């Protein structure tokens, strides 16, 4: 199984709503990632979890709150979002690699959740 | 910071070769990647090259790396209509961090 699944595929929410995006993988990967991709732009890294601990936060606003409840699941909790947060949110997973050592560590991407904030 | 730059658009005819170029930013990047994104989909890794290599061939794909100029290219031989997509180069700037290029939209016409 080399698949990363994401739910929901599409989400429309108001600025006062609270919602969550979910990501799941069963490849035994211990690194999981959230990326944000605006239309006609490249993906931008938001968060990285290694061994279920947050290892990278790319100065993301606190209205985005990630959570890694176990080694297969990654959530992104959304609260009080702004219309400019509308984007495709991509999850990825990989083997975590070793800190200080560069290695190939292919990232496998899910299909994304297309989020619209009204 | 600087962007990883790619040309915006490339149009070719079916059966021709396509060459997509990328100028990356970090001379210490150890791995460089090419990803493909079809409409409404996530990213699919096509190929990668380690920084101590000049060239890598993988079936229809050829990657060339010029470290001196920080230039990476992807050549697709015998391009097919199914190759129409957006192609992103990416550099590995930290042990878990990928920075993606601006993306090149490839359109293949019959």
Q: For chain B, what is the mean pLDDT?
A: 92
Contact at CB, B97 and A48, closer than 8 angstroms? yes
Cis peptide before A8 (omega within 30 of 0): yes
How many angstroms away from the CA of B59 is the closest CA of chain A? 19
**Contacts across the A-B interface (CB distance below 8 Å):** 63
pLDDT tier for residue A100 given thresholds of 50, 70 and 90: low
pLDDT tier for residue A105 given thresholds of 50, 70 and 90: confident
Q: For chain A, what is the mean pLDDT?
A: 91
Q: What is the pLDDT of residues A46-93, one digit of tens each?
A: 999 999 999 999 999 999 999 999 999 999 999 999 999 999 999 999
Q: What is the pLDDT of residues B46-78, one digit of tens each?
A: 999 998 899 999 999 999 999 999 999 999 999
Least confident of A22-26, A33-37, A99-103, A108-112: A99-103
Contact at CB, A41 and B88, closer than 8 angstroms? no
* Spatial distance between the Cα atoms of A97 and A102, rounded to a whole number of angstroms: 7
Q: Which helix (H) or strand (E) holds B98?
A: strand B98-100
In this complex, is the C-beta atom of B44 within 8 Å of any C-beta atom belonging to chain A?
A: yes
Q: What is the pLDDT of residues B10-42, one digit of tens each?
A: 999 999 999 999 999 887 888 899 999 998 888
How would you classify the pairing of strands B5-6 and A113-117?
unpaired
pLDDT tier for residue A99 given thresholds of 50, 70 and 90: low
Q: Which residues of B touch A42 (CB under 8 A)?
A: 4, 88, 100-103
Average pLDDT over residues A97-111: 74
Nearest residue in chain A measured CA to CA from B48: A104
Q: At B104, is the secondary structure helix, strand, or coil?
A: strand
> Does pLDDT of A40 surpass 80?
yes
Name B11's Cβ contacts closer than 8 Å, sequence gap at least 6: B106, B107, B108, B109
* Spatial distance between the Cα atoms of A32 and B79, rounded to a whole number of angstroms: 33
User: Residues of chain A whose C-beta is under 8 A from some C-beta in B?
Assistant: 4, 31, 33, 40-45, 48, 50, 55-56, 90, 92, 94, 96-112, 114
Please provide the DSSP assignment of B71-85 as one string.
EEEEEESS--GGG-E
> Does pLDDT of A117 surpass 90?
yes
How would you classify the pairing of strands A31-37 and A44-50?
antiparallel
* Spatial distance between the Cα atoms of B25 and A53, rounded to a whole number of angstroms: 29
């Amino acid at each position: 199984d080399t698949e990363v699944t994401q739910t929901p595929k599409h989400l429309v929410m108001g600025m006062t709503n609270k919602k969550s995006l979910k990501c799941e993988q069963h490849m035994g990967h211990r690194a999981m990632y959230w990326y944000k991709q605006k239309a006609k732009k490249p993906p931008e890294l938001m968060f990285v979890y290694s061994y279920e601990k947050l290892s990278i936060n790319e100065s993301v606003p606190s209205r985005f709150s990630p959570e890694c409840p176990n080694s297969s699941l990654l959530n992104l909790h959304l609260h009080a979002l702004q219309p400019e947060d509308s984007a495709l949110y991509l999850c990825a997973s990989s083997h975590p690699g070793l800190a200080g050592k560069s290695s190939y560590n292919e990232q496998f991407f899910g299909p994304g959740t297309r989020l619209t904030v009204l | 910071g600087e962007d990883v730059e790619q040309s915006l658009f490339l149009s070719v005819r079916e059966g021709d070769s396509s060459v997509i170029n990328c100028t990356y930013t970090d001379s210490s990047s150890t791995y460089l990647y090419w990803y493909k994104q079809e409409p409404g989909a996530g990213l699919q890794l096509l190929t990668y090259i380690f920084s101590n290599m000049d060239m890598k061939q993988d079936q229809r794909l050829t990657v060339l790396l010029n470290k001196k100029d920080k230039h990476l290219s992807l050549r697709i031989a015998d391009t097919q209509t199914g190759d129409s997509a957006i192609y992103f180069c990416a550099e590995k700037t930290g042990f878990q961090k990928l920075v993606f290029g601006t993306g090149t939209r490839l359109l293949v016409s019959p």
